[in-house]
Amino acid sequence: MALIVQKYGGTSVADIDRIRSVAEKVIRVHDAGNDVVVVLSAMAGVTNRLIQMAHEITGDPNSRELDVLLATGEQTTVSLFCIMLESMGCPAISLLGFQASIMTNTAFGRARISEINADRIQDLLKQRKVAVVAGFQGRDQEGNITTLGRGGSDTSAVAIAAALKADMCEIYTDVAGVYTTDPNLCDKARKLHRISYDEMLEMASLGAKVLQIRAVEFAKKFGVPLQVRSSFTEEEGTMIVDEEKDMERLLVSGVAYSREEARITVTNVPDRPGIASRIFAPVAEAGIVVDMIIQNTRKSGLTDVTFTVPKADYQKAMSIQKEVAESIGAEEVLGDENIAKVSVIGVGMRSHSGVAAQMFTALAEENINIIMISTSEIKVSCIIEEKDTELAVRVLHSVFGLDAAA
């Protein structure tokens, strides 16, 4: 008999009928003699609606209170789910993040899990109860409710699985696994049977929201057996595994995209030591994560500095830069929210050159303008205009030989 952690995303618990069919699934696994911990997201759309309501009051809602608000989404689903399980004769107890001792730091809205004391969950399992834990939330040292960032229920599930040394952590979602690219954008996407932690980390960090990046980091660090699969079918999903010697080392194994970034350019910056720090230190102090950076010094001795930030932090970053520009004598600050990042990922790139050039040629042939480029050992990313996202993803998917056979 096994200890299994199952996480169900928003679409899997979107209404009472879906909650019923997930409950039936859970009962089957529990009745077979397994210990089951269920981690749930809020019903599809609920987190967005709560955020929107807070923003109807102010553009910059208090971050502590926003987390109290957002945590209600998951509170709703765990209670409904336990009412459902109990009504079907299956003993179950819901636990909010703090009740499950999911301890985090105090970074509201993007808190990190520091520790989980799994005693309470273990007690429930010993009593043969299903433990139903609210995903996405925890508590800090002072007892404040915190949330883990969008998609954070994945991380809750993997962290709980690590704390319990579970035999398997299953992420149930609205697609049948991890694909070569988003199957909702590209109908030629292929389901992968296995993907390495490192490739999955890149895919997640470059926008493939099928798994939150922190979840993959946890799984890799603690060796949690992790699987992504559909909550609507019995189809085999995708296993996230250590890179194995016999693993097929495709040059490119996936294409990811993100529309979640915005670009900022500070023009005609005087070129002298310390300038980059003057530009980026205040951004970092505001807790804003900068992704790509380009700096071009011209013959005139003036520099343009361009960088990208999450769209959610765009307004804040723009106003910081306007002040910085004035204080360092730069000319102006330009911004663009209509950009996207497309990336190709593959561990095979470690030992091959030419992927970047092939990517640029493929985009050029479709007349897609590349605004920024960044590369690492196992990925190449380009910032392009947002309107070109879908075309770029499809073209790259096809050029790198990933299209499913017709």
Identity of the residue, 42 or 93, whose beta carbon is nearer to ligand ADP in the bound complex: 42
Show contacts with ligand ASP in window 46-75 (CB under 6 A). Answer: 47, 73
From candidates 12, 94, 153, 180, binder to ligand ASP by CB under 6 A: 153
Q: Pick from ligand ASP, Mg ion, ligand ADP, none: which does 181 bind, CB < 5 to 8 A by kind?
A: ligand ADP
Residue 177 binds Mg ion (CB under 5 A): no
Identity of the residue, 151 or 346, whose beta carbon is nearer to Mg ion in the bound complex: 151
Quote the least distance from Cβ 154 to ligand ADP, whole Å.
6
Identity of the residue, 184 or 297, whose beta carbon is nearer to ligand ADP in the bound complex: 184
Residue 151 binds Mg ion (CB under 5 A): yes
Question: Do strands 35-40 and 130-134 pair parallel, antiparallel, or not at all (unpaired)?
Answer: parallel
Quote the least distance from Cβ 180 to ligand ADP, whole Å.
7
370/343 Cα distance (integer angstroms): 12
Quote the least distance from Cβ 260 to ligand ASP, whole Å.
12
Treating both helix axes as pointing N-terminal to C-terminal, what angle do 63-87 and 16-31 enclose, rounded to 10 degrees?
60
Show contacts with ligand ADP in window 330-369 (CB under 6 A). Answer: none
From candidates 20, 112, 150, 259, binder to ligand ASP by CB under 6 A: 150
Identity of the residue, 11 or 137, whose beta carbon is nearer to ligand ADP in the bound complex: 11
268/271 Cα distance (integer angstroms): 9
Question: Do strands 293-297 and 302-310 pair parallel, antiparallel, or not at all (unpaired)?
Answer: antiparallel
Residue 152 binds Mg ion (CB under 5 A): no
64/231 Cα distance (integer angstroms): 33
Q: Which residues on adjacent β-strands are paired with residue 147? A: 137
34 to 53: interface string for ligand ADP, x by CB under 6 A:
-------x------------
Q: Which residues on adjacent β-strands are paired with residue 37? A: 5, 131
Within 10 angstroms of residue 390's Cβ, the number of other Cβ atoms is 15
Q: Which two tokens stand for residue 398?
A: 């096809």
SS3 label, residue 6: strand
Quote the least distance from Cβ 177 to ligand ASP, whole Å.
17
Question: Do strands 168-173 and 3-8 pair parallel, antiparallel, or not at all (unpaired)?
Answer: parallel
Residue 74 binds ligand ADP (CB under 6 A): no
| Identity of the amino acid at 97 | G
Q: Which residues on adjacent β-strands are paired with residue 5? A: 37, 169
Quote the least distance from Cβ 9 to ligand ASP, whole Å.
6
Residue 174 binds ligand ADP (CB under 6 A): yes
**Phi, psi for 51 (deg, rounded to 5):** -60, -45
From candidates 179, 197, 218, 400, binder to ligand ADP by CB under 6 A: 179
201/208 Cα distance (integer angstroms): 9
Number of residues that make up the chain: 406
The residue among 132, 156, 158, 150 whose CA lies nearest residue 66 is: 150
Mind giving me the DSSP string for 195-227? EEHHHHHHHHHTT-TTS-HHHHHHHHHHT--EE
1 to 20: interface string for Mg ion, x by CB under 5 A:
--------x-----------
Show contacts with ligand ASP in window 81-140 (CB under 6 A). Answer: 135-136
Residue 346 binds ligand ASP (CB under 6 A): no
Q: Which two tokens stand for residue 334?
A: 């330009």
Angle value at C-alpha 355, between 352 and 359, nearest 5 degrees: 175
- For 108, what's the count of Cα atoms within 13 Å in the CB-facing half-sphere? 15
Residue 381 binds ligand ADP (CB under 6 A): no
Select the span of 19-27, 97-105, 175-183, 297-305 touching ligand ADP (CB under 6 A): 175-183
- CA dihedral (63, 64, 70, 75) in degrees, to 10, reads 170
Residue 170 binds ligand ADP (CB under 6 A): no
Residue 134 binds ligand ADP (CB under 6 A): no
Residue 9 binds ligand ADP (CB under 6 A): yes
Residue 188 binds ligand ADP (CB under 6 A): no
Identity of the residue, 133 or 250, whose beta carbon is nearer to ligand ASP in the bound complex: 133
SS3 label, residue 366: coil
| Identity of the amino acid at 282 | P
Show contacts with ligand ADP in window 227-246 (CB under 6 A). Answer: none
Identity of the residue, 213 or 330, whose beta carbon is nearer to Mg ion in the bound complex: 213
Summarize as ranges the residues that interact with Mg ion (CB under 5 A): 9, 151
Summarize as ranges the residues that interact with ligand ASP (CB under 6 A): 9-10, 41-42, 47, 73, 135-136, 150-154
Summarize as ranges the residues that interact with ligand ADP (CB under 6 A): 9-11, 41, 151, 173-175, 178-179, 181-184, 203, 208-210, 254
